[in-house]
Structure 1
């Protein structure tokens, strides 16, 4: 037995690598868990290698690795991502796994996500056509399973550069084996004896929540965590920290022990040439918006002190992951328009560099053209600390604070003031007031704000239909989802109360909006 008696077997997804699992390997190791993985048959080469691979080949490889690890440890947890989750589920069922727990991440029991083409079901007929399954390609396309615009741009750049971290396409014959594996899981899930954590994104574009609820119903001892801000690749998307926290909690591991180490390390001095070379690479990558090239230049425990941007942005961002959040926020709040335009001549002082940065962004017809002084400290071949000081913080703060939250976020609903007279209105009188309010709104000379229209819509639907249905509109219908969210916020409000709110809100529009 190993001196460390706990291990985790991590299984990647179709066409993928351990990149699929984000930082879970490092997180678990820091928490004292030995991690083990394997490259599934047909992976690590080219997509053509998958043509002749069968589901049994994947299962045999996983089973062999599992048994090797089980011989060395008292406790072995099994964690799978995407198709790796299907393999993990089948493994735990057939091996009657009890010496550890199971975690499934975005398990595609059903292939029915919002981005699944309408013709997907026809693939079952294509399987039987001569040579077609071997020759037909299923391409990986945007959004690449990622909601976060910055991370998605990094993945896109990796694809364009030809990095061998994920296949850009898989043969149809391979998808046929995934379908066989899905059916195996459907038949055997009920036999899984171990505690199981199921994590799944509500907006998964490949596989809907139907997959997660199926597993939750079939496996006796399960916990379901639904993620609200990611697509399919939940380990690298917006909810990656939530995924990590839930993995540690479910496995009874201390989050503190898995945190990025902030203890100082021995500082190995950099030569003047090394300082200048790193500075050039860093500034060039940032000016070209090549965040995928800039991020590896930061130390894992980097601290970025954002001194400007008002309450919307100003704070210290600790760790490389926090920088992803910062840059993502800048892109989200500016509709993807934020960009560093240029950098001035850097001033060197040992391993500290000061430079003037120019950047721009637009939002709702407003333009930001700003300058900032950036002072960054280099250590051990990485950027260890950055201090970002806007040279005109008033203008910048006004812009970012006015840009609102991330794309798709909705501001708080307008406040309605219900008079004492309106509060006592009921029956036929209330219904008549409701009808009159609708007529008055139609006569408005100017259209109310979007937030007001959403609030009116929600009150009307709650008054006439009751509580909103649980199922949300497709992510391809952002307006429908915004309406559903507003309506859902009134869950439990009576029809009469919703009418009163509608009448009051309509009345608030009259002084400013009626011709």
Structure 2
């Protein structure tokens, strides 16, 4: 099945510091592409994979589950660790949950975590009834495109409930693993998010064991903040976060490999 225009994965071979970016549920790499390119232009090695079942048609997502999505980012992280001295993980929405689980499972193999509007729970009308409703209703209205400045997010206009049920199970799993997250953590949360409420970020912050924690509220953006008014701030804050923990970033000759 052809990949939707703009939804292609992105990779850049840079220096000794790597960053893995994880996109959200029913979305695609397009939502994080400007962030990935910003980091790549500053000499970092960057990986932004396309999650299984995403970026094609919603019928393909219906055939996948959280194990498939997590296996993809886990594989990308291992690849980055093979070629980089330090690796950071980042994500938007469900991608934030994927990044947090990578941190919980890989320990010192992850130098830091950066999440934008991270999701911790499935919300909405069908959330509580998913174990049953997924057998009765194939899809519900899509959740992509919550951007204050307008513009388009490449993703699905329908959410297959079988995949949503798997996502619900994944969030419960990750919630139980959050105390294993000890790495420095940067949380960027939109003041007005119509997809993931502020309670999800609060829950994550209350559960992790990280002591180096920074939370920033994005006043001008909605859920897909990486494509919104505060995108530049996200990019700059993330680079500053990485640079503080990996001081070689930005110094000539240390991250670029010619």
Deviations 1:217-254 (A, max 9, x none): 22223211111111100111111121112111111179
State the partner residue of 1:242. Answer: 233
Q: 1 or 2 for the larger relative contact order (CA 8 Å, sep ≥6)? A: 2
Higher-Rg member (1/2): 1
TM-superposed CA distance for 1:82, in Å, is 1.1
Determine helix, strand or coil for the equivalent of 2:27.
coil
State yes or no: 1:138 paired with 2:145. Answer: no
Conserved in 1, the CA contact under 8 Å of 2:90 and 2:115? yes
Match runs of 1:227-238 below 5 Å: 227-238=218-229
**TM-score, normalised by the number of residues in structure 1:** 0.43
**Greater fraction helix:** 1
**TM-score, normalised by the number of residues in structure 2:** 0.82
Structure 1 residues 98 and 69 mapped into 2: Cα distance closer, same or farther (>3 Å)? closer
Determine helix, strand or coil for the equivalent of 2:199.
helix
Determine helix, strand or coil for the equivalent of 2:127.
helix
Aligned residues: 232
State the partner residue of 1:194. Answer: 183
Conserved in 2, the CA contact under 8 Å of 1:12 and 1:83? yes
Q: Among residues 8, 29, 51, which one is paired with 1:40 in the alignment?
A: 51
Q: Among residues 202, 220, 228, which one is paired with 1:213 in the alignment?
A: 202
The whole-number CA distance in structure 1 between the counterparts of 2:113 and 2:134 is 39
Conserved in 2, the CA contact under 8 Å of 1:126 and 1:132? no
State the partner residue of 2:85. Answer: 74
Q: Which runs of 4+ in 1 moved over 6 A?
A: none
The whole-number CA distance in structure 2 between the counterparts of 1:217 and 1:52 is 34
Gapped regions of structure 2 (runs ≥ 5): 1-12, 251-258
Structure 1 residues 59 and 99 mapped into 2: Cα distance closer, same or farther (>3 Å)? closer
Determine helix, strand or coil for the equivalent of 1:193.
coil
Gapped regions of structure 1 (runs ≥ 5): 159-164, 258-515
Conserved in 1, the CA contact under 8 Å of 2:31 and 2:224? yes
Determine helix, strand or coil for the equivalent of 1:71.
helix
The whole-number CA distance in structure 1 between the counterparts of 2:174 and 2:115 is 12
Conserved in 2, the CA contact under 8 Å of 1:74 and 1:99? no
The whole-number CA distance in structure 2 between the counterparts of 1:196 and 1:189 is 12
State yes or no: 1:13 paired with 2:24. Answer: yes
TM-superposed CA distance for 1:22, in Å, is 4.6
Conserved in 2, the CA contact under 8 Å of 1:51 and 1:171? yes
Determine helix, strand or coil for the equivalent of 1:95.
helix
